[in-house]
Chain A
C-alpha cells in the first residue's frame, strides 16, 4: 500500500495555556511555547505504520509549514515512516484551510500514485477539521471522517465513524482519505533504530517552484478567510468556595442549583 500521512506541527498542548494575549497590546505572547506533532496526527502515523506492517508498502509523511516543522517530520521518521517531505515557502505563509489543503493536494499529486491518505481529525491549534476533507475534494476522492477503526481488504476500506450518539460502519474503495480520532490506536514511541535513522535522513523541502501550484491559490492570496481580530475570552472567573460544615455545603449547593432552575 502507498500511504500518505499529513501531519501538522502545533504548539505544545501542555503549554497551550501559556499562549496568552498581552492585555496591554492585544497581541499573542508565544514565548516559551514549544512545538509538537498534532496529537491526532500521531494516531494517523501509527495507523499508517500498522497498515504497512500488515500489507507491506510505503508510508510518506507530508507537512506544510515553516522550516522548523522539519522537527515534527523527523519524529515521524523515528516512529518508522519511510520518508518525509516538507512543503515550505514564504509564499505559503498566511494560508487558511483552503490554501493549505490545495498545496497539500498538489504535493500529493507530485508524489504520484497513492492508495490511502491519512490525517488527524483536527489540529489542536485551529481546531477546524477542514484540511482533511479539503484535500479529498481537491483530489476528487471519497473521505471518511472521525474514524476510530479501519480495515483495508483488497480495494475496499471499511471503517467506523464516530457520530454524536452512535457509530456508523461505512465502506468505500481506495483511493480515499481518512481522518482519525485518538480512539483508533495508541501511537508507538520511536525505537532507538528509528531515532538514529531519523537523525541522518534527508528531508526534502519543496517550495512553490517544485510544485505546479497556481500562485493565486497559495498562502494569504489563496485564502478567502482573514483573521481580523484576536482577543482573550471572558474568563469564567474564579467563583466562590463553599466552606463550612459538609452537610451545610451540600444544602447550599442544592439551593444554588435550584435557584437557577437547572433541575
Chain B
C-alpha cells in the first residue's frame, strides 16, 4: 500500500503544494499541510514542495520496462475496409516512434489480408504484423483479445494505439484488463516525456469541461484509445523497406462466444455523424417536426449530416442516432450549424470542439452564442429558407455549363 505523509517538522505551511494537487485534496491547517482522503499518490505535490516536507512511499514496482520496445497501431477494419482512424493513428504513432527512437508497426487481424497488407505497405512504418485466421474474419471481442494478447506477450511493445470507436472501445478495455496494464480512453493528445519515456495521454473528462493528462509509469504496454479525427493522417510514402511478419494465431472455437446474426445499416446518406465534416443540427426552435425538412435540405446542399438536440429526439421529431451531446454522440466536424438550439451544457459538450460553429437562434442570450464562431440572431424560419436559396443559386452559378456536345453541334 502506498503511503503519503507530511513531515510536520519540515512543513512551514507555505501552501505551495495546494495548487499542485490535481484533485484539490491538500489544505493547510495550523500552518501545516494536510492531505485529505482520495489521494492517488501521483506525486505532483512532491515537486511543488520547496522543503521536501512530503514523503511518498510507493511500492517499488520492479518490472523491467526496457524490454518493451516499439509503437503499435491496431488497424481497425469495418466491412473489410481499413478505417480512416488507422491512418490517423499511423500519423500519431510515427511521431511517437521517432521521439523514442523505436520502430512503428501496424497490427492487422483478419482472415484475408493480402490486399490490406498491400495498402499499408505504402505508409511510413517498419513492420506489418499479419495475423491471419478464419476466426478473425469479423471483429469478435474474445477472439481478437486472445490473438492480440498472445502477440503482445511475445513481442512486448511499449505503446499500443487503438481508435476510440465503438469497436476500439469494446476491444481495448478487454485487452488491457487481460494484460493488467494501463489504458487511457478517448485521447486527444499524445506525447512522450523525454526523460521517463512515459506516454503522456491527454483526454477530456467531465463532459469536456476539463482536460486530464495521464501516464502509466510502471506498466507496459501503455495502451490508448484515440479519438477519431483528431490526429493528422499519415500520408503515403514510397520506397519504405517494410518487414511483413506473418502470425498464425492459436485460437479455439470454444472462445467464439458471441455470434453476429445480422448487421442493419442505418438509412440516410451520411449516417455516420462522427465521421461527418459538416453537420447541420436542429433543435426545438424549429417549432415542429415538419420543419426539420429545412435542416435536411441544408445538410444535403452542404454535403453534410443531420444532427439534433435531445429535446427534438425526445419529442420524436427525429430518431435518436442523430442526437448530439452528452447522452448522444460527440462530434467534431469542420462546420457545425446549430439551428434553434439553445446550447445547454449537455448539448455543448458533444459539439464544442467543432472547428467552426454557426448558431442561428432568435434569443440573443442563448448560451449557444457563448461558443459560436458566428452567431446569427434571427428567426430560423426566416433565415434558413433565405440561406438555402442563396446557396442554391450560388451552386447553380458555379456549376460549369455542360460542354457543347458534338451531337448537338
A21 to B327, CA, bound (A): 23
Would you give the 0/1 interface string for B138-173, flagging 1 where the beta carbon is closer than 8 Å to chain A? 000110010000000000000000000111011011
Q: Which residues of B contact A170 (CB under 8 A)?
A: 258-261
Q: Please tell me if the beta carbons of B373 and A236 are within 8 angstroms of each other in the complex.
A: yes
Q: Which residues of B contact A254 (CB under 8 A)?
A: 387, 390-391, 394
Q: Please tell me if the beta carbons of B211 and A232 are within 8 angstroms of each other in the complex.
A: yes
Which one of B2, B321, B370 contacts A162 once the chains associate, using CB atoms below 8 Å? B321
Q: Please tell me if the beta carbons of A130 and B42 are within 8 angstroms of each other in the complex.
A: no
Report if A137-B216 is in contact (Cβ < 8 Å); known contacts: A16-B349, A94-B38, A236-B371: no
Q: Which residues of B contact A132 (CB under 8 A)?
A: 173
Report if A163-B166 is in contact (Cβ < 8 Å); known contacts: A97-B183, A227-B42, A233-B210: yes
Q: Please tell me if the beta carbons of A19 and B206 are within 8 angstroms of each other in the complex.
A: yes
Q: Which residues of A contact B364 (CB under 8 A)?
A: 241
Report if A27-B21 is in contact (Cβ < 8 Å); known contacts: A13-B326, A250-B383: yes
Q: How many residues of B contact A (CB 8 A)?
A: 105
Which one of B78, B212, B349 contacts A227 once the chains associate, using CB atoms below 8 Å? B212
Asked if A155 lies at the interface with its beta carbon under 8 angstroms from chain B, I say no
A238 to B326, CA, bound (A): 21
Q: Which residues of A contact B382 (CB under 8 A)?
A: 246
> In the complex, what's the smallest C-beta–C-beta distance from A211 to chain B, in angstroms?
15
Between A21, A131, A227, A256, the greatest number of chain B beta carbons within 10 A of the residue's beta carbon is seen for A227
A255 to B253, CA, bound (A): 59
> In the complex, what's the smallest C-beta–C-beta distance from B74 to chain A, in angstroms?
15
> In the complex, what's the smallest C-beta–C-beta distance from B256 to chain A, in angstroms?
10
Asked if B186 lies at the interface with its beta carbon under 8 angstroms from chain A, I say yes
Asked if B106 lies at the interface with its beta carbon under 8 angstroms from chain A, I say no
Stretch at the interface among B92-100, B129-137, B262-270: B262-270
Would you give the 0/1 interface string for B363-378, flagging 1 where the beta carbon is closer than 8 Å to chain A? 0100001111111111
Asked if A188 lies at the interface with its beta carbon under 8 angstroms from chain B, I say no
Asked if A32 lies at the interface with its beta carbon under 8 angstroms from chain B, I say no
A260 to B333, CA, bound (A): 13
Q: Which residues of B contact A239 (CB under 8 A)?
A: 357, 371-375
> In the complex, what's the smallest C-beta–C-beta distance from B139 to chain A, in angstroms?
10
Would you give the 0/1 interface string for B1-31, flagging 1 where the beta carbon is closer than 8 Å to chain A? 1100000000000000011011110000000
Asked if B242 lies at the interface with its beta carbon under 8 angstroms from chain A, I say no
Q: Please tell me if the beta carbons of A226 and B42 are within 8 angstroms of each other in the complex.
A: yes
Q: Please tell me if the beta carbons of B394 and A243 are within 8 angstroms of each other in the complex.
A: no
A8 to B141, CA, bound (A): 24
Asked if B234 lies at the interface with its beta carbon under 8 angstroms from chain A, I say no
Asked if B335 lies at the interface with its beta carbon under 8 angstroms from chain A, I say yes
Of residues 126 through 145 on chain A, the ones whose CB sits less than 8 Å from some CB of chain B are 126-134, 136-138, 142-145
Report if A220-B41 is in contact (Cβ < 8 Å); known contacts: A101-B177, A172-B258: yes
Q: Which residues of B contact A64 (CB under 8 A)?
A: none
Q: Which residues of A contact B40 (CB under 8 A)?
A: 93-94, 220, 223, 226-227
Asked if B213 lies at the interface with its beta carbon under 8 angstroms from chain A, I say yes
Q: Which residues of A contact B142 (CB under 8 A)?
A: 142
Q: Please tell me if the beta carbons of B265 and A166 are within 8 angstroms of each other in the complex.
A: yes
If over half of B's interface residues share one DSSP class (helix, strand or loop), that class is named, otherwise mixed; here it is mixed
A187 to B272, CA, bound (A): 27
A127 to B169, CA, bound (A): 11
Asked if B245 lies at the interface with its beta carbon under 8 angstroms from chain A, I say no
Q: Which residues of A contact B217 (CB under 8 A)?
A: 226
Q: Which residues of A contact B335 (CB under 8 A)?
A: 257, 262-263
Q: Which residues of B contact A240 (CB under 8 A)?
A: 373-375
Report if A224-B210 is in contact (Cβ < 8 Å); known contacts: A166-B265, A167-B263: no
Q: Please tell me if the beta carbons of A136 and B176 are within 8 angstroms of each other in the complex.
A: no
Asked if A17 lies at the interface with its beta carbon under 8 angstroms from chain B, I say yes
Would you give the 0/1 interface string for A211-238, flagging 1 where the beta carbon is closer than 8 Å to chain B? 0000110011101111111111101111
Report if A165-B271 is in contact (Cβ < 8 Å); known contacts: A227-B40, A241-B369: yes
Asked if B59 lies at the interface with its beta carbon under 8 angstroms from chain A, I say yes
Asked if A71 lies at the interface with its beta carbon under 8 angstroms from chain B, I say no
Stretch at the interface among B115-123, B274-282, B401-409: B274-282
Q: Which residues of B contact A130 (CB under 8 A)?
A: 169, 172-173, 176, 183, 185
Q: Which 4 A-B pairs have the closest CB atoms?
A: A224-B182, A94-B40, A25-B19, A133-B173
Which B residues contact A (CB, under 8 angstroms)?
Answer: 1-2, 18-19, 21-24, 37-42, 44, 59, 78, 141-142, 145, 165-167, 169-170, 172-174, 176-178, 180-186, 200, 204-219, 257-266, 271-272, 274-275, 277-278, 302-303, 320-321, 326-327, 334-335, 345-346, 349, 352-353, 356-358, 364, 369-378, 382-383, 386-387, 390-391, 394
Besides A133-B173, A172-B258, 20 new A-B residue pairs in contact (Cβ under 8 A), listed by A number: A90-B37, A97-B173, A98-B177, A127-B204, A134-B173, A134-B174, A146-B170, A163-B166, A166-B263, A166-B264, A171-B259, A221-B41, A224-B182, A225-B215, A226-B40, A227-B22, A228-B213, A233-B210, A250-B386, A254-B390
Give 6 A-B contacts (CB < 8 Å), ordered by A residue. Answer: A93-B40, A130-B185, A164-B272, A170-B261, A250-B383, A263-B302
